[in-house]
Amino acid sequence: MPTSSNMQRLITCLLILCFVSPCLCARSTLTTKSNTYNVKDYGAHGDGKSDDSGAFLSAWKDTCGAQETPTLVIPSEGVFLLNYITLNGPCNAPSVNIQLQGKIVASAKKEWIKVSEIQNPNTKGLTNDTSNLIVFSNVTNLSIDGSGGSIDGYGSSWWECKSCGRPTILRFKSCNDLTVSNLTITNSPKAHIRLNSCDNATFSDINIRAPGDSPNTDGFDIYTSKNILIQNSNIQCGDDCIAISDGSSNINATGIACGPGHGISIGSLGRSNAHETVETVHVKNCTFTNTKNGARIKTVPGGSGYARNIIFENITLINADNPIIIDQYYDSYGKSESGALNVSDVTFRGFSGTAAKQKAITLNCCPSGCFDIVLDHVDIVPSTPGKTASCSCNNAHGKSTETVPQCSLSS
């Protein structure tokens, strides 16, 4: 039998536990909330008219400064107008999450330039600081989930002025171990997504939409980056659905529905006699619908470097211009310059479908030649009944097996 003093101590402990437990639960809830940063809590209006750039920057400052994994929230109940922001790292936490649930919209061209000139009174028009709507710089282990949200670049206010310094919507600079999923971006003034000096990035279920005649509105521009995967995405634009440029390697694109657009391109490479390189690219299980090109490699005469170890396979074509093309005279305007990038070890395998024109395959290499080119199990016919597809082949060395139209590659 417990003594009265023991019983009193037991009751006292139970009472203390009853008071402490709710406090512990409350503290846990507070900790969870303190790691979630909602842009509306920082003054974002979300009315689609007021500039919310400052609120986003303030929310990012606290998000990036958090010690444990934080989450920046752009809530569903809002349309958030931005001019241009740079979200800088490195961040304190080992990883950072962003939930884009609402809609982000860019200012129209007139307002964009007005803000630029207010902040840079000695500069006419746009500066490099305003060449992107949103920049993530030097952020490691960044994860962006765009479920329910979107970004609209309001490109229609820019497209008529092709000489203007039109901005890119989303740029990642020196961001390693990056994951972006379920993101919708529409109507960029220029490129929709650009990567510079990134390592290990995965883009999944990305939806990009812009009119087929919108100028230079690439889906993805990839520069000096490696170990990049773009998968299960739909890209409609006015230029390359994916452009893989200088300094890039280990690039994979799979399950891409491209069109309208200019296809998936390596390059252009070698402008202004530059030394540029791209290697180890794998494009597979993609569809090109009403595109100006399909699988393309484009280099400019006079440049040096290489494009090598490139595979395009299991490609479906629906009324595509230039389904397969290597063009070593890209943008040369008839000029004949000495020197060219080395194009080698390129495979086009498992192509089937229709071409908008009779010329289905173009391998237009410079006199020094392209080497180890493989055409295998290719079956392309013109969209117009009764027409016959053709192949144009200059200075291309390699082999062609079970390919329609037939191509005569040099050994």
Q: Which amino acid, one-letter code, is at 199? A: D
- Do residue 182 and residue 102 come from a single domain? yes
Q: How far is CA 115 from the centre of its chain?
A: 26
- Do residue 88 and residue 208 come from a single domain? yes
CA dist 313 and 319 (Å) reads 18
* CA atoms within a 13 Å half-sphere pointing along the CA-CB vector of 143: 10
Question: Any idea how long the chain is?
Answer: 411
Per residue in 93-102, pLDDT (tens digit) is 999 999 999 9
- Do residue 139 and residue 246 come from a single domain? no
In a domain, 3, yes or no: no
Report, as residue numbers or ranges, the catalytic residues.
Answer: 239, 262
What mean pLDDT is predicted for residues 26-35?
Answer: 45
Q: Which amino acid, one-letter code, is at 289? A: T
- Count of domains for the chain: 2
Which tokens hold the place of 72?
């920046």
Phi, psi angle pair for 108, to nearest 5°: -70, 160
Q: Which domain CATH number covers 331?
A: 2.160.20.10
Which tokens hold the place of 294?
């399909």
pLDDT at position 381 is 97
Categorize the per-residue pLDDT at 344 as very low, low, confident or very high, splitting at 50, 70 and 90: very high
124 pLDDT more than 50: no
Domain hosting 397: range is: 240-411
Region of 402 (left: φ > 0; alpha: ψ -120 to 50; beta: rest) is left
Q: Which residue has the higher pLDDT, 396 or 31?
A: 396
CB 132 within 8 A of CB 168: yes
3 state SS of 58: helix
Q: How far is CA 31 from the centre of its chain?
A: 34
CB 289 within 8 A of CB 257: yes
- Do residue 245 and residue 290 come from a single domain? yes
Does the global pTM surpass 0.85?
yes
For residue 53, which of 33, 64, 39 has the smallest C-alpha distance? Answer: 39
**Mean pLDDT score of the chain, rounded to an integer?**
89
152 pLDDT more than 90: yes
